[in-house]
Structures are given as C-alpha cells and as structure tokens.
Structure 1
Amino acid sequence: MDSTETKPKSFNEIINGDTPVLVDFYADWCAPCKMMTPILQQLKSAMGDKLNIIKIDTERNPDVAIKYQVRGIPNLILFKNGELIWQQAGVVRMPQLQQIIEQKLEQS
C-alpha cells in the first residue's frame, strides 16, 4: 500500500473529530428521508466548515443505528467531540435545523 493513501475514517473517528458532526440516519425506501437531502445541502452551504454532515444507511449499518437507538427515520444526531448533544426523528426544516444546531453548539 502506498503511504500517501489514506484509509476512510471510521464512524468513531469522524464523530470524535474537532468539527461537530450531524449524522442523518436514513433508508433508501424512506420518502421523508429523501426530503432531508436538499435541506442538508442548504445547511452545509450555510454553515460551511463549522459542521460536517454524514449520511448513514440504517439498512447497511444496523449496528450503529441500534447503538444510538434510532427507531424512526429520518433521524438526525448531532455530535460534538464524540458526545451526542442532540437527536431528533423526522424531517426538520432548514431554518429550524440551523437554529437548533447553532444553539446546541453554543451550549456545549
């Protein structure tokens, strides 16, 4: 293996990083989950480097979904320094989502 290659980061490495992470738990068959994609794209362009956003398919990663008690999807979880600081199931509109995230990051 070439030393310049970097292996993909694990979920734990990502959520324990310096940048807060919003995780979107979804499934391909879930219609409300599809509604979150443009909302998350707007959020990323609004917040830029202050927030990482990743999507986790609950069907392909059931162990992670079980660990964080994801029972309904879409399910959003906000991590800061590896700590879960906010979680909500269901579609959240962009202005409300940005407000919640900024508020939670200020408090933690």
Structure 2
Amino acid sequence: MLIVDKGTFEEEVLNAEGYVLVDYYSDGCVPCQALLPELEVIAEKNADKAKFVKLNTSKARRMAIKQKVLGLPTITLYKGGEKVAELTKDDATAKNIETMLAENIK
C-alpha cells in the first residue's frame, strides 16, 4: 500500500485515474492497526482493480477534515476524485471492504 501525505494526496488520490481506496488511520488507533493486515491482503488481491493508499490523519489533520473524515478507521473509495463509497468505525471490516469493492468496481 502506498503511503500518501498532505503533499501527495491530491496527485495520488484526487487526480488519479480509476479507483483509489484510502485507508485513513492514526498512530494511536487500535482498530486501525488491527484492520491493517487484512487490508493489506485485500489490497494484494485487488491490485488490478484499484490503487490502495493510506493516510496518517495524525500528520494530515486538515486533509482528513477536508475529506470529511470524522472517525477512525475510515475506508473511502474514490473514482475520478469523488467519493463513491465509505466505511467508518465499526463498519470498517475486511468483509465490508470486500463487499464495497465488489459493489462499486464493475
């Protein structure tokens, strides 16, 4: 998974072609850390369908607020710079992420 920051987010996510899944996390977020190994497996399985990136909201708080990320973990799917689907907090599970990808990427 590609790590983006406030300097690369726009280029790698908002200006990217195709689908981009963003994992918004922070260093102190235990559920984020628990989800990461499963998310990395999903990213490997779906690398041909979407770009997978992660943004540490501790280091890019304004960027997270601008993207309306209000709780963690937040998993957001973008296409053409627009949000097409999002999972937050308890809904951000590996199963739900796979379902979100299957429902949105045809």
Question: Which bin holds the TM-score, normalised by the shorter protein?
Answer: 0.7 to 0.9
Runs of 4+ in 1 over 2 A off after TM superposition: 91-96
Which structure has the bigger radius of gyration?
1
What does residue 70 of structure 1 align with? 69
Given that 2:32 and 2:72 are in contact with CA atoms closer than 8 Å, whether structure 1 keeps it comes out as yes
- Describe the SS at the equivalent of 2:68: coil
Distance 1:45 1:51 in 2: 10
Q: Which residue of 1 aligns with 2:34?
A: 35
Unaligned runs of 5+ in 1: 1-7
1:102 corresponds in structure 2 to 102
User: What is the alpha-carbon root mean square deviation over aligned residues?
Assistant: 1.9
CA distance in 2, matches of 1:49, 1:105: 11
**d(CA) in 1 for partners of 2:93, 2:24:** 16
The within-5 A match list for 1:17-32 is 17-32=16-31
Structure 2 unaligned regions, length at least 5: none
Q: CA deviation at 1:97?
A: 1.2
1:38-53 mapped onto 2 (5 Å cutoff): 38-53=37-52
Give the paired residue count.
Answer: 99
Q: TM-score, normalised by structure 1?
A: 0.81
So what's the TM-score if we normalise by structure 2?
0.82
